[in-house]
């Protein structure tokens, strides 16, 4: 048996992809494979890809080609994940430098392949997921796939229909993570509010969350990917009233014009979306709301764009992302006419970003006078006297960074009480408070 087989891991795409990869890394670590950060020194590299939109596919291909130049001639190049699921035949034909591929839900086939070529036995010990971000938080995927038919989206064709995990299975995983010291559990899926519909015959997000938050009362829980139609008043009240749920709603609305929402095949119309925003502000006034928009969907006119603009002006989401529409092969909208000129799309996005910058900055400035908690991730790469982390109202890797310019992190990752001393959109600089 060859010992000390070194593997380099490259994770691309979203948190859901990251979680899949963490199970694979855990499995390989249990088998004795060693993680190697320098690909030039590794025996194999695994690139877990995203294939949701055109730029993600390009990023994956660039990574594969670059990696092939870095690794030794003998090292194995393995590619897994969404892009493989979407373009399996093309990859096999166009990228002969790859030694092995496997798609979504089958990542452990990469472990089988590595064990076989390096003559390593499968470990009999229990596989432990290897959390790859800062150890104080971890994502927990409560379901896979999606039953919706948004016309711009290829995710259901890549990841399939909704497949929820049982409540017991989720609770077991949360228990393990909490036992390992995780302080914040970030609940993810494709459409979190639909949790349970497939296996329990009805949505079970609230029972799941009530159980988890009462069993793990010293752990924080944050829910992401809440489609507006599922953000009912009982969900909002639960977030408002439960002390260990982060007051943060990620509600992707994608557009504000009913004409475009219908063409997008979205389940929520403008009235539903307005009600959700108003209800959150009424029932959970301290909450941060993040949303996303796709701009330049086929047929989007100046009037449709103005509906988004006016929505942002009046509803004032705390954080918002604006993404250009990409015509994705295999999506329902692929054959739609009336494409919007790319220059117009860029101009519209720039206007929305300018407007949103004011909303976010003004909300963040409130925290110059209001205390909040934050966590520390690491020392800044360029300035060793500055710490980096995130505020409780910032989701990981999404809502800007937090820099500690005044304070000593003598409790590891935290949490620490602090206030904002400077807003540099989208980031904040903070001072720790003395009563930490």
Nearest C-alpha neighbor of 378 from the set 386, 387, 370: 387
Min dist CB 234 to ligand SF4, Å, is 21
> Looking only at residues 182 through 201 of this chain, which bind ligand SF4 when binding is defined by CB under 6 A?
190-191
> Looking only at residues 58 through 77 of this chain, which bind ligand SF4 when binding is defined by CB under 6 A?
none
Min dist CB 284 to ligand SF4, Å, is 23
Min dist CB 322 to ligand SF4, Å, is 15
Rounded Cα distance, 70 and 38, in Å: 9
Distances (CA, A) of 327 to 82, 157, 200, 213, 331: 17, 15, 35, 41, 8
155 near ligand SF4, judged by CB under 6 A: yes
Interface pattern 355-394 for ligand SF4 (x via CB under 6 A)? ----------------------------------------
Cβ contacts of 253 within 8 Å, gap of 6 or more: 228, 268, 273, 291, 292, 293, 311
Which residues lie across from 423 on neighbouring strands? Answer: 428
Rounded Cα distance, 263 and 267, in Å: 11
Min dist CB 272 to ligand SF4, Å, is 14
328 near ligand SF4, judged by CB under 6 A: no
8 near ligand SF4, judged by CB under 6 A: no
> Looking only at residues 270 through 299 of this chain, which bind ligand SF4 when binding is defined by CB under 6 A?
none
Min dist CB 150 to ligand SF4, Å, is 3
Min dist CB 225 to ligand SF4, Å, is 7
Q: How many C-beta atoms lie closer than 10 Å to residue 136's C-beta?
A: 19
Residue for token pair 């087989």: 5
Which residues lie across from 417 on neighbouring strands? Answer: 373
Q: Is 188 exposed, middle or buried (0-12, 13-18, 19+ CB in 10 A)?
A: buried
Nearer to ligand SF4, 8 or 227 (CB): 227
153 near ligand SF4, judged by CB under 6 A: yes
Contact (Cβ atoms closer than 8 angstroms) between residue 103 and residue 20:
no
> Looking only at residues 133 through 152 of this chain, which bind ligand SF4 when binding is defined by CB under 6 A?
146, 148, 150
Nearer to ligand SF4, 53 or 392 (CB): 53
156 near ligand SF4, judged by CB under 6 A: yes
Q: Which residues bind ligand SF4 (CB under 6 A)?
A: 146, 148, 150, 153, 155-156, 190-191, 227
């Amino acid at each position: 048996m060859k010992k000390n087989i070194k593997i380099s891991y490259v994770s691309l795409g979203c948190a859901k992809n990251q979680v899949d990869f963490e199970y694979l890394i855990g499995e390989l670590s249990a088998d004795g494979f060693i993680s190697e950060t320098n690909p030039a020194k590794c025996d194999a590299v695994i690139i877990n890809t995203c294939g949701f939109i055109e730029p993600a596919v390009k990023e994956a291909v660039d990574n594969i080609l670059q990696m092939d130049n870095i690794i030794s001639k003998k090292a194995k190049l393995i590619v897994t994940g969404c892009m493989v699921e979407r373009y399996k035949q093309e990859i096999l034909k166009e990228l002969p430098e790859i030694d092995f591929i496997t798609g979504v839900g089958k990542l452990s086939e990469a472990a089988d392949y590595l064990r076989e070529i390096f003559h390593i036995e499968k470990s009999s010990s229990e596989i432990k997921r290897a959390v790859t971000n800062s150890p104080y938080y971890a994502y927990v995927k409560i379901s896979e796939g999606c039953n919706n038919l948004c016309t711009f989206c290829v995710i259901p064709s890549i990841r399939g229909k909704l497949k929820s995990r049982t409540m017991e299975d989720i609770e077991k995983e949360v228990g393990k993570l909490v036992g390992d010291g995780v302080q914040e559990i970030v609940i993810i899926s494709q459409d979190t509010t639909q949790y349970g519909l497939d296996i329990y015959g009805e949505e079970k997000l609230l029972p799941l969350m009530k159980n988890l938050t009462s069993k793990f009362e010293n752990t924080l829980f944050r829910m992401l990917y809440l489609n507006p139609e599922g953000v009912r008043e009982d969900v909002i009240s639960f977030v408002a009233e439960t002390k260990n749920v982060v007051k943060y709603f990620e509600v992707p609305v994608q557009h504000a014009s009913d004409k475009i929402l219908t063409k997008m095949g979205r389940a929520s119309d403008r009235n539903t979306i307005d009600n959700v925003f108003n209800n959150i502000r009424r029932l959970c006034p301290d909450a941060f709301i993040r949303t996303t928009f796709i701009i330049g969907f086929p047929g989007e006119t100046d009037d449709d764009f103005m509906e988004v603009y006016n929505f942002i002006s009046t509803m004032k989401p705390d954080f918002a992302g604006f993404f250009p529409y990409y015509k994705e092969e295999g999506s329902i909208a692929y054959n739609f006419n009336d494409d919007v000129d790319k220059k117009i799309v860029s101009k519209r996005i720039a206007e929305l970003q300018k407007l949103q910058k004011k909303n976010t900055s003004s909300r963040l400035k409130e925290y110059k006078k209001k205390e909040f908690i934050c966590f520390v991730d690491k020392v800044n790469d360029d300035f060793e006297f500055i710490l980096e982390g995130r505020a409780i109202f910032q989701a990981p890797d999404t809502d800007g960074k937090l820099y500690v310019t005044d304070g000593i992190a003598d409790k590891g990752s935290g949490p620490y009480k602090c206030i904002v001393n400077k807003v540099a959109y989208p980031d904040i600089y903070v001072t720790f408070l003395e009563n930490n």
